[in-house]
Structure 1
Amino acid sequence: MADTLLVRALKGKPKSLNLCNKKLDKVPKAIGKLDCVLHLQLRGNKLKTLPIEISHLFQLQILNLGHNELEELPEALEYLTMLEKLHLFNNKLQSLNPKVLTNLRNLTFLNLNSNQLKTFPPEICRLSSLQHLSVDQNQLTELPVELCALLRLEEFHAANNQLTNLPLEFGFLVNLERLHLQKNKIRELPESLGKCYKLRVVDIAANELRIFPTELHNLPLKELYCEENPLLQHIPVHSVQEEEVLSLKEVTARYVMKELKDRWSYLRRAIRHYPQIKDMLAQASRCAVCGESFLNTWLECVRFVDAKGDLHLSNLHGLIPVRALLCSYKCFNSAGHDYYGVAFP
C-alpha cells in the first residue's frame, strides 16, 4: 500500500505526504525520490527505524514519527538539516543519539513525550534554534546544565518525570515564557529562576516544594500552579536569636564588598589583579533587610506574599511563601520587617 502511495506521489511532486496509521513496519526506500516533500506524516505505524534514503529529503521541514516503536533516533535524521519540527512522542526511546542532535540546528520544535528517557546528552545544547521542548511522561531524574544553553527556548514541558531539582544555571533561559514541571519530585527551584524575565506561566503542582525563590516577584507571571506541594504555612511563632560568630573569610568578604562601593577605595583598584576573588564575590547575596552584601553565611527566612495583590496572578488566591536571605540575626531581630524564620518539623 505504501509503495502504491509513493508511486502516485512521485507523479504529483507533493509538498505534503501522509502515511499515518498504515501499519508500516518499514518505510519504502522509494521515499528518497520525493525530495520535494516539506511535511511528512508517519504517525501511528510500527516503525523501528528509518531507511537511509530518507536523508534525501533535504527540504523536509516537518516530520511526525509519533506512535511508533523507535528505540533510538534513526541516524538518517542527522542529514535533515532543514528540519524545523520533529514529533517523536509515544515511542520507546531510551536515549538521544548525540550525533543526530548535532546537525539539527534549524529545529524549533521537539516533542519527546511518553518515551523512556532518563537523561539528556550534553549535545542537547546544539539545538540552538529550539523554542519548544516537551518531554512529559519520561523517566528523567536530572537535567544537564547544557540544557540552559538553549537561549531561544520559549516553552519547556517536563511533567510526570522523576526530577528532584533544576540546574542552578536555569536563569540563562532568558526567553522562557512557559514552564511546566507538574508531577515531579522537585524540592527547590533555583534562585536564578528570577532571571527568566519573560516567564508568564509556571506549573509546579504536585511536587515537594516548600518555598519559592527570592525574586519571584520580578517575574511577569500571569499564572502559577502550585497545588499539592508541602508549602510553608503562615503560622507565626515568636523567636529571638543571638548573633552568630562569623568566620574570618566571611568578615573579610563583607568588609571588601562594603569598600567596593566607594569609587575611591584602594581595594576597588586592587581587586582587578585578583580575578578569582572578584568571581567569588560576584556570587554574594544581598540582605533583604539592610541591603548589605554577604558571602556564605546567611539566615534563610520566608516572606508571605499575596498571590493576587502582590504577584497579580489571575488564577491563584492566598499567600505564597517566598524565600528571603538575611545577613545576620541582628537584622532578623530588628523591628519593622515581615520576614519570618523557617521552622523545620
Structure 2
Amino acid sequence: MPEWPLLRALRGGRGTRSFSLTARRLHYLPWGLAKMKSLEGLNLRDNRLCRLPPAMEALSRLKILNLGNNIFEEVPEQLICLRSLQKLHLFGNKITRISPSIFGGLQNLVLLNLNNNKLCCLPPEIHRLENLECLSLNNNQLQRIPRELCCLQKLRELHLSHNSLMALPEEIGHLTKLKILSLSRNQIEELPEGLCKMVGLRVLDLAGNNIQIFPAGVEELELVELYCEGNPLLQKHPVSAIQEEDILTLKEITARFIIAQLKSSLSLQRAVKQNTEAQNMLSQQRECAQCGCGFLNMWLECVQFVDVKQRMKTSRNLHLLPVKMLLCSYKCFNLHDDELFGIAVP
C-alpha cells in the first residue's frame, strides 16, 4: 500500500492535527505515523489492522481515534498511554475481551463505541472511565453488565441492544444523569425497581424482550419516548377468581408491627440500628399501594394499566402500560378503584 498521504503530511510539517487512512487495506501502520506528535484526530477505519505498534504511545495529544471495521480481537493495550483520548471507536471488529488495565489510562474518555463485536462480558474496572458520557455496546454477546458500570455518574447514553441480557442490576438507578437507555432485542424478563430512580431518563427502548409488567413508579419518570413492542405485556382481560383469606405468618405479623412502630419510636429505631440482622431484614420491606403500610414477605401482586400515549412517544398501538402494584392484604384489594387488577396465575 503506498504511503504517499503520510509522506505528504510529514513534508507539510509535523503540526498536522487530523489524519485519515481509511479503507486502504492496511495490515500494519506505516512508518512515520508516531512522529506526528501534534495529532489530535486519527481515522484508521475500514482496514485490516489487528494490532497497534508500540510507537503509537507517542501520540500523547490524540483525542479522537477511529479503529472501526478492522480485525482486532482485543482492545489494544497501547491505548493505555493515550491519556488525552476522548473518543474511541472500535465498532465492527472481532473483540472478545477487554483487559481491565486499559481503563486505567482512559480516564478522559467521553465516548466508547464497541458495537458489533463478540464481547461476552465487561470487566468491573469499567468504573474507572469516570468521565464517560456515551457507551455503545450494541450487537455483542453480553449476558450481564457489571454493577460497577452503574458508578459512571456522567453517563448520558447507554446502548445495549441486540445482546443476551436477562436482567439488569438494581444499582442501575444510580445512573441519574442517563438520558437514553437502549435495551432492545435482549432476553430481559423483569426490570429492577432501581430503573424508576433514573430521574434524568427521557428515552427508554425495551422492544423485543420478555417483559410482562413494569415496576411501580415507572409512570413517574419523565419519559419522552418509550418503545416496548415485541414484549408479552399483560393485557386487561378481567376473569373471575376465588378470594383467599389473609393468613399471615408470625414473622410477617411481627415485621409489620415493628415497621409501623419504627415511624414513631426513637428507642426502637436505635435498637434496630444496633441489630444488623434485623436491619437487613427490614431493609427489604415494601409499601402497600393502597394504605401505605409496610410489609415484608407476604403481599398481593396487582397490575395497574397506566395511559402513557398522551404524554410520550410510544410503540405503535401501545396505550396502556402494565405497572406492578403491591397490596398488603385482600382487605386493601377490596378497597381499590376500578383501574387495579389482580394477576391471574395460569
Could you tell me the TM-score, scaled by structure 1's length?
A: 0.94
Counterpart in the other structure of 1:138? 140
Shift of 1:103: 1.7
Counterpart in the other structure of 1:162? 164
Whole-Å separation in 2 of the counterparts to 1:125 and 1:2: 41
Whole-Å separation in 2 of the counterparts to 1:280 and 1:154: 34
**8 Å Cα contact 2:288/2:327 also seen in 1:** yes
Could you tell me which amino acid in structure 2 is paired with residue 24 of structure 1? L
Corresponding residue SS for 2:70: coil
**8 Å Cα contact 2:51/2:72 also seen in 1:** yes
* Structural mapping, 1:81-160, within 5 Å: 81-160=83-162
Counterpart in the other structure of 2:33? 31
The total of aligned residue pairs comes to 342
Whole-Å separation in 2 of the counterparts to 1:336 and 1:90: 52
Whole-Å separation in 2 of the counterparts to 1:243 and 1:171: 36
2:35 equivalent to 1:51:
no
**8 Å Cα contact 1:29/1:54 also seen in 2:** no
**8 Å Cα contact 1:16/1:37 also seen in 2:** yes
Q: 1:198 aligns with which of 184, 196, 200?
A: 200
Whole-Å separation in 1 of the counterparts to 2:2 and 2:152: 38
Could you tell me which amino acid in structure 2 is paired with residue 19 of structure 1? L
Summarize the Cα distance change of 1:32–1:251 in structure 2 as closer, same or farther, 3 Å threshold. Answer: same
* Structural mapping, 1:179-258, within 5 Å: 179-258=181-260
Whole-Å separation in 1 of the counterparts to 2:284 and 2:99: 35
Whole-Å separation in 2 of the counterparts to 1:148 and 1:335: 36
Could you tell me which amino acid in structure 1 is paired with residue 282 of structure 2? L
Whole-Å separation in 2 of the counterparts to 1:181 and 1:336: 33
Q: Deviations over 1:280-325 (max 9, x none)?
A: 323321110110111222221110011124xx11335421101111
Corresponding residue SS for 1:214: coil
**8 Å Cα contact 1:35/1:57 also seen in 2:** yes
Could you tell me which amino acid in structure 2 is paired with residue 45 of structure 1? N
Whole-Å separation in 2 of the counterparts to 1:138 and 1:126: 22
Could you tell me which amino acid in structure 1 is paired with residue 333 of structure 2? F
Whole-Å separation in 2 of the counterparts to 1:173 and 1:265: 33
Counterpart in the other structure of 1:307? 308
Could you tell me which amino acid in structure 2 is paired with residue 137 of structure 1? N
Q: Which moved more, 1:290-299 or 1:91-100?
A: 290-299
Q: Which moved more, 1:321-330 or 1:106-115?
A: 321-330
Summarize the Cα distance change of 1:2–1:72 in structure 2 as closer, same or farther, 3 Å threshold. Answer: farther
Could you tell me which amino acid in structure 1 is paired with residue 312 of structure 2? L
Could you tell me which amino acid in structure 2 is paired with residue 218 of structure 1? E
Summarize the Cα distance change of 1:22–1:272 in structure 2 as closer, same or farther, 3 Å threshold. Answer: same
Corresponding residue SS for 1:9: helix
Whole-Å separation in 1 of the counterparts to 2:204 and 2:27: 40
Q: Percentage identity across aligned positions?
A: 47
Shift of 1:197: 0.4
Q: Which moved more, 1:233-242 or 1:197-206?
A: 233-242
Counterpart in the other structure of 2:345? 344
**8 Å Cα contact 1:167/1:190 also seen in 2:** yes
Summarize the Cα distance change of 1:2–1:340 in structure 2 as closer, same or farther, 3 Å threshold. Answer: farther
Corresponding residue SS for 2:322: strand
2:306 equivalent to 1:332:
no
Whole-Å separation in 2 of the counterparts to 1:27 and 1:322: 54
Could you tell me which amino acid in structure 2 is paired with residue 37 of structure 1? L
Corresponding residue SS for 2:71: coil
Whole-Å separation in 2 of the counterparts to 1:155 and 1:128: 14
Counterpart in the other structure of 1:292? 293
Corresponding residue SS for 2:32: helix
Shift of 1:2: 5.8
**8 Å Cα contact 1:241/1:333 also seen in 2:** no
CA RMSD of aligned residues (A): 1.7
Shift of 1:279: 4.1
Whole-Å separation in 1 of the counterparts to 2:281 and 2:178: 28
Could you tell me which amino acid in structure 2 is paired with residue 281 of structure 1? L
Counterpart in the other structure of 2:63? 61
Could you tell me the TM-score, scaled by structure 2's length?
A: 0.94
Shift of 1:344: 3.0
Could you tell me which amino acid in structure 2 is paired with residue 295 of structure 1? L
Could you tell me which amino acid in structure 2 is paired with residue 320 of structure 1? L
Whole-Å separation in 1 of the counterparts to 2:33 and 2:252: 67
Unmatched 5+ residue regions in structure 2?
none
Shift of 1:276: 4.4
Q: Deviations over 1:81-140 (max 9, x none)?
A: 111100000000001111112221111101111101111111111111111111111111
Shift of 1:216: 0.7
Q: Deviations over 1:217-242 (max 9, x none)?
A: 12110111111111000011233522
**8 Å Cα contact 2:290/2:336 also seen in 1:** no
Could you tell me which amino acid in structure 2 is paired with residue 53 of structure 1? A
